[in-house]
Chain A
């Protein structure tokens, strides 16, 4: 409560006083994306290595990975505001930065649309862009509504699994508490893996067959790396036997969407995914830019 109040007061102070003079460091891909969407990128002086979208962010100095920040490295950039998630760390560095009077704000990363909205509102206030924040929130509400309208036409939700593979290892499936699961829920898909799995886990081929997914979703870098669908299907025995593979319903999503909590593009991605997972409803599902 106290922290929230401080954040609020600081936010108001920042928004009314020195908008042009703030020096922001953003740690975490989703946060950086939000900074650009709020149109404060001119005040952004550095990002962490997980901030790869938009591409412009790659031109800024990198402060390392957001979980292993360097105390002096951050200080040397003289930030007025360090924005990151709860995962930002290590904790002793964060504590010392606060002792050294750096305004450090850690925002929750829960993978729900509600948490995303809260994050947008809070960050907008912190960087003095309340109005721009309201615009983003309104956009999200609109697409959320559109999406649920369109999905009413779905009679029986399809079963889908999200697979991700790190090089050389057998694929892992997304369970609850993952941005992939949220994406599937938003797209009106049923994730059978969510029943028993939290986070990402390797899955035996047998349980994959039992789950019988009608749709398989993979991040796009996986198809790039494996170059062909055949190679992808060869990653795990049993993958070929799923209804999804038989009906050739394997869908890729942008990899950068799913790192570091859900970001602003999640609803557009969900809409696209819904369109591809329910092609018969294609006319009903309109793409919103």
Chain B
């Protein structure tokens, strides 16, 4: 009882923190915009126009509406998607080292994107960007499908086989990317490398809505699987005894992860570390109960991603850092610090 109360309070704190960080993300950037303009823009969109506005208001309004807001929202959705996928994979594989990349979705997406960049000249001008996004998504799904097929036999789905298949697919994908890199010219090579470092620079309302639909659909389905994941933590046969349809559950969880990560990677490139670390942080604080772990991971993932993107945008302004580098740079030392703090608790 005490534990669930603690978990709930953590979720409440995170749910309060997220809007604050969203607002910070909208208020700060390379172009200085006053809080008054931010508030006025919000009021304007809600149908009020009360306060007086500054001279640069119309441009600032445009920046807030068409650049920062979609970008911040996309960041939070992607952060939530990656963190939840990480929690799902760690639960499903009963392995704290599991992250969404384990089922090949990231490397498959990278191959898809690299291929699209290599053949960018065959797309009509202006559509190459979409080709990369779509190819990344399809590549991610294809790799996951392959991993899943290899892991599934008439006797059921073996997560151990899937893990090994994932390793094989990842290695194969890396070789594929190496080959594409070799065939690419200098400019394509740079595009591929930049894609792999991740960026939210392409955020648009269309991206936000697509991502929101996927995340909302998952948010509706997932609560039903919280107890299933808890049961799976005991082991496959124990879960079966508890009345869980293990194979069906595994299949659904893999599909959910592939779609979540596939869309996230397609829109923003490779963003590592969030999926691996966020569920760990949450588990250290509130324990492994998936009923609380999943929503808390989503909230923390969203918050961290918004914060990381804010850093990416302002640290070396007017230039911009790739977001994947920021998440790793902030995340890894913090995670190490936490491990050192909690060493006893974990091993004990």
Contact = CB atoms under 8 A, between A and B. Distances in A.
Contacts of A62: 318-319
Residue of A70, A89, A100, A199 with most partner-chain B CB within 10 A: A70
A229 interface: no
Nearest to B318: A73
A161 interface: no
A108 interface: no
A112 B260 CA distance: 47
A72 B59 CA distance: 12
Given A68-B320, A90-B201, A75 B194 contact: no
A15 interface: no
B31 interface: yes
Nearest to B182: A202
A74 B313 CA distance: 12
A90 B202 contact: yes
A87 B322 CA distance: 19
Q: How large is the interface on B (under 10, 10 to 19, 20 to 34, 35 or more residues)?
A: 20 to 34
Interface string B1-42: 000000000000000000000000000011110000000000
Contacts of A67: 187, 190-191, 194
Residue of A62, A64, A95 with most partner-chain B CB within 10 A: A64
Interface stretch (B62-70, B88-96, B169-177): B62-70
A73 B190 contact: no
Contact of A71 (B59, B67, B322): B67
Interface string A170-183: 00000000000000
B144 interface: no
B151 to A, nearest CB: 37
B318 A46 contact: yes
A74 B128 CA distance: 23
Contacts of A65: 190, 194, 319
Contact of A49 (B63, B201, B319): B319
Interface string B182-218: 0001110011001000010110100000000000000
B271 to A, nearest CB: 15
Interface in B41-60: 59
Interface in B290-348: 313, 316-320, 322
A36 interface: no
B126 interface: yes
B313 A100 contact: no
Interface string A80-93: 00000001011111
Interface in B123-166: 126, 128-129
Contacts of A64: 316, 318-320
Given A68-B199, A90-B201, A96-B67, A73 B319 contact: yes
Interface in B92-137: 126, 128-129
Given A61-B318, A63-B319, A64-B318, A70 B191 contact: no
Contacts of A87: 187
B194 A72 contact: no
A73 B194 CA distance: 17
A91 to B, nearest CB: 5
Interface of B: 29-32, 59, 62-63, 66-68, 126, 128-129, 185-187, 190-191, 194, 199, 201-202, 204, 313, 316-320, 322
Given A65-B319, A76-B29, 6 more contacts: A62-B318, A65-B190, A70-B319, A87-B187, A89-B191, A99-B66
4 closest A-B pairs (Cβ-Cβ)? A64-B319, A73-B318, A70-B320, A76-B30
